[in-house]
Amino acid sequence: MMRNKTRGRIHTPIKLRSAIGLLLLILSVSCGGKEEGTPAPTALPVLTPREVIEKASPLLDTLASFHFELTQEGGGTPIDMGIEMTAASGEVVPPDRLRMDITGTWGRMYLSTKLVTVGEETYMQNPLNKKWEPTKFTAITLFQPDTGIKAIMESVTDLAMLPGESINGTVCFHMSGMLRSEVLDAVAVGHAAEGLPVQTEIWIGAEDFLLRRVTFKGQITEEEVPGIVRTLTLSRFNEPVTIELPSAKRLSPGPPSILRAGPVAQRGGDGLEEPVHIPRLGEIIGGSE
């Protein structure tokens, strides 16, 4: 009896300690990882929005490389080959090297393609035959000092500081402001209208002052719907990246593709009643060579 009672007295605290340990584990998990866009857990340095921009803007010129993601909600941006881009992601090696994957629409179909820029040469992969074709779509302008995100940041007016937030684990200053649509010509691929108001939000790292995210809410071109929202996110700063043009054997030797005439090569009518060729979706989004 004494032995059993002793065991009982020992066994109860073990259960209690186990329960407490489990509770602490649950609490640590639930309070652990921060979702992006969550409130910053620590106090930020006391700076004005303009001071933050002035510290952050020059740093974009010092980066050896970075990764970017561009998303669009409520519409797309016409680029080339009849494609309307809805999202893109890739790498940039300043000042003039870029590669990116593009998703978008072509007529009523969804597709994906790729683009590479080295110097003044830019090639886009034809979604039909996977051959690379020269293009005038120069996405690199979005990241060049005089035309891109640096110039855009410096042009924001009516800056206001918002509560700090964490983006991908990085505590950030969070600011809002306004832009005029013509400032975003690089975003609109040369089709920006003039004088349209665009609401802007900016997230900049509180310790390193590197730009983490910027959003543009509102029309940039006359054709877009009023509620369109573009979000550009930067990450993976100064990681080793090599960007080269596609090899000669993968370049298209023939005339411009059917895509350059638009979604449908027409014989007459409204273009949908007598199409010469409408490729299957699988032909467009199939794997590359």
The answer to the question of residue 21 being in a domain is: no
Stronger pLDDT, 125 or 23, i.e. the higher one: 125
Task: Say what the pLDDT of residue 249 is.
Answer: 54
Report the relative pairing of strands 132-134 and 157-167 from DSSP bridges. unpaired
Would you state the torsion angle of the CA atoms of residues 45, 49, 51, 54, taken in this order, to the nearest 10 degrees?
Answer: 120
Number of domains in the chain: 1
Q: In this structure, is residue 262 part of a structural domain?
A: no
Q: 98 φ, ψ to 5°?
A: -150, 140
In a domain, 173, yes or no: yes
265 has a pLDDT exceeding 90: no
Averaged pLDDT for residues 221-231: 90
Angle at 149 between CA 146 and CA 150, to 5 degrees: 60
Q: What is the pTM for the complete model shown?
A: 0.74
pLDDT at 271 over 60: no
Q: Where are the beta strands (DSSP E) in the chain?
A: 38-39, 66-73, 77-78, 84-93, 97-106, 109-118, 121-125, 132-134, 157-167, 170-180, 197-205, 211-217, 229-235
What is the pLDDT confidence band of residue 190, given thresholds at 50, 70 and 90?
A: confident
For residue 44, pLDDT over 90 is answered with no
The pLDDT value recorded for residue 108 is 85
Measured distance CA(36)–CA(233) in Å, rounded: 11
User: Which of 80-84, 246-250, 262-266 ranks highest by mean pLDDT?
Assistant: 80-84
Could you tell me the pLDDT band of residue 78, with boundaries at 50, 70 and 90? confident
pLDDT band for 218, please (50, 70, 90 cuts).
very high
Residue 134 lies in a domain: yes
Q: Is the pLDDT of residue 161 over 70?
A: yes
Residue 41 has a pLDDT of: 62
Q: Which residue has the higher pLDDT, 267 or 224?
A: 224
Q: What is the mean pLDDT of the chain?
A: 80
Give the three-state DSSP class for 23: helix
Q: What is the pLDDT of residues 127-146, one digit of tens each?
A: 888 999 999 888 999 999 88
The share of the chain scoring above pLDDT 70, in percent, equals 72
Does residue 2 lie within any of the structural domains?
no
Closest listed residue to residue 215, CA positions, set 258, 274, 286, 167 = 167
* CATH number of the domain within which 190 lies: 2.50.20.20
Residue 172 lies in a domain: yes
pLDDT of residue 240: 97
* Residue numbers of the domain that contains 61: 49-235
- The CA radius of gyration of the chain, in Å to the nearest whole number, is 26
